Structure 1
């Protein structure tokens, strides 16, 4: 069967991809000023056919909207100093493959964060002579590796918050020297029931059946965990509510951005026309 191969490019695993293949972990943090220790990724093949895979490494950055792009290697970028084994392998159907990663810089790296992206790219298999043509997909996963020299500071601030009927956009500024993410929860309060920022907190087990919503909260969820690079400001969008009846509400955020506290609320209105 002749196969036409379609590349599926993924920086983080989607639900559909996870049903076919899996990668764990998706992120590695490595201390670069201590003893070099080997860490590892594990690639899982949940399909009924073998997967031929090649591994490559690149330097990368991210823009203010979260788009990742490759950039040239520098003496200070981590991609040039990673030792990866193996670089090419076959994952048998239903099996998994360990890929070991070690950072061995040959130059003195400056204090702060140094990054690399490790790509796992499926290779199209040879077609059988005289076979029919079908369309197949191949995967491409990118796993971020963060290397740190010196003390790690994950700090920053929420410098802007835009709220709409069913979504919100946070403007996050990273003032530290390491990539940071949010943790915690958001809640939609009826405005008349909102007790004020000082009297609200992150909701335990939010997003699960065990979460207990305070009276007056109509919907709640986890804050997004999108990465913000050190020294950067990024817009992070997320869905907040579905099918709210017309009325006045307050979006309340509680948690952290890196190691900095995050506590902000903003009122918004749902009109009858938007319902």
Structure 2
């Protein structure tokens, strides 16, 4: 059975009316937005609740896709890899009707073969409203469908994340610090960072970076914006230091908090400026 179900963050995907502001989209509520489970004899189960906060009834369907956490882009669906749990997912029902101001349950069943190697497997279960909003502009009709997803992590064997701060880069054009976090463990970890920016003994600023997921054997690039206030000056050329703590829990709802202090040094280089120099006038 699913032992822990909890919210992490909304994963709202699909086509949105950025260029067509008068599109009316039906809303879909979903919980939980993340499910974690360990296999028990090759089996696990869970329940997704689909809710309709509007007055009008809608039909919805559920279907799985594989995803990764891209170091630059974050959440991203992909066709396949060895960590996919998609082939082993079943749903009851796959399509459902949700009356206005009501909710319905979808049962999620995972059955895996005994030969499945130990490790972490994942998928995102999308719930998609089947009602389409057609926008007609002359002879052009555009269909817009909204979908949201529940992320599923299924673990077999003794797996856990191991997060470390690897390095830092300073981007002079974006005026930002890019902190590289790596996960050398065997499960996805959600790391939060408390940090201080110093030059010598002087503290320049500090901040907190909220929980960000880092997949197994991958890295995550965290952008720490500085300056982030109008009255903060840009960093002058010189040597700087970023110190702090990287922390995470595993499982997320447990009290098993891991905390790793870090110190990384970096240089802000002198900006090269090209100055036009006219040749001396040698004409007679």
TM more than 0.5: yes
Q: d(CA) in 1 for partners of 2:29 and 2:115? A: 35
Instruction: Please name the residue that 1:72 is paired with.
Output: 80
Instruction: Please name the residue that 2:103 is paired with.
Output: 96
Unmatched 5+ stretches in structure 2: 1-8, 17-25, 135-139, 250-257, 269-284
Q: d(CA) in 2 for partners of 1:37 and 1:97? A: 20
Q: Which of 35, 45, 60 is the aligned partner of 1:28?
A: 35
Paired positions, count = 230
Q: SS of 1:83's equivalent?
A: strand
Which has the higher relative contact order, 1 or 2, with Cα contacts under 8 A spaced 6 or more apart? 1
Q: d(CA) in 2 for partners of 1:239 and 1:101? A: 40
Q: How does 1:179-218 map to 2 (within 5 A)?
A: 179-187=188-196, 193-194=202-203
Q: d(CA) in 2 for partners of 1:252 and 1:244? A: 23
Q: Which stretch of structure 1 is more off in the superposition, 150-159 or 238-247?
A: 238-247
Q: SS of 1:177's equivalent?
A: coil
Q: SS of 2:260's equivalent?
A: strand
Q: SS of 1:80's equivalent?
A: helix
* Counterpart contact for 1:157–1:262, Cα < 8 Å: no
Cα 1:124–1:262, aligned 2, differ >3 Å: closer, same or farther? farther
Q: d(CA) in 1 for partners of 2:80 and 2:219? A: 22
1:243 counterpart = 2:251? no
**Over residues 154-181 of structure 1, what are the superposed CA-to-partner deviations in whole Å (9 max), with x where a residue is unaligned?**
1032112234686432212111010112
Q: How does 1:5-84 map to 2 (within 5 A)?
A: 12-13=11-12, 20-33=27-40, 36-65=43-72, 66-72=74-80, 77-84=84-91
Instruction: Please name the residue that 2:161 is paired with.
Output: 154
Q: Which of 139, 149, 157 is the aligned partner of 2:146?
A: 139
**Over residues 96-123 of structure 1, what are the superposed CA-to-partner deviations in whole Å (9 max), with x where a residue is unaligned?**
2222222111342111111122111111
Instruction: Please name the residue that 2:214 is paired with.
Output: 228
**Over residues 198-251 of structure 1, what are the superposed CA-to-partner deviations in whole Å (9 max), with x where a residue is unaligned?**
xxxxxxxxxxxxxxxxxxx85533x23222211112323354632242276865
Bigger proportion of residues as helix: 1
Cα 1:34–1:243, aligned 2, differ >3 Å: closer, same or farther? farther
Bigger proportion of residues as strand: 2
Instruction: Please name the residue that 1:168 is paired with.
Output: 177
Q: d(CA) in 1 for partners of 2:242 and 2:29? A: 35
* Counterpart contact for 1:156–1:260, Cα < 8 Å: no
Cα 1:238–1:22, aligned 2, differ >3 Å: closer, same or farther? farther
Q: Which of 107, 120, 128 is the aligned partner of 1:113?
A: 120
* Counterpart contact for 2:243–2:261, Cα < 8 Å: no
Q: d(CA) in 1 for partners of 2:105 and 2:200? A: 52
Unmatched 5+ stretches in structure 1: 1-9, 128-132, 195-216, 270-275
Q: d(CA) in 2 for partners of 1:35 and 1:77? A: 15
Instruction: Please name the residue that 1:263 is paired with.
Output: 262
Instruction: Please name the residue that 1:130 is paired with.
Output: none
| Higher radius of gyration, 1 or 2 | 2
Shift of 1:56: 0.5
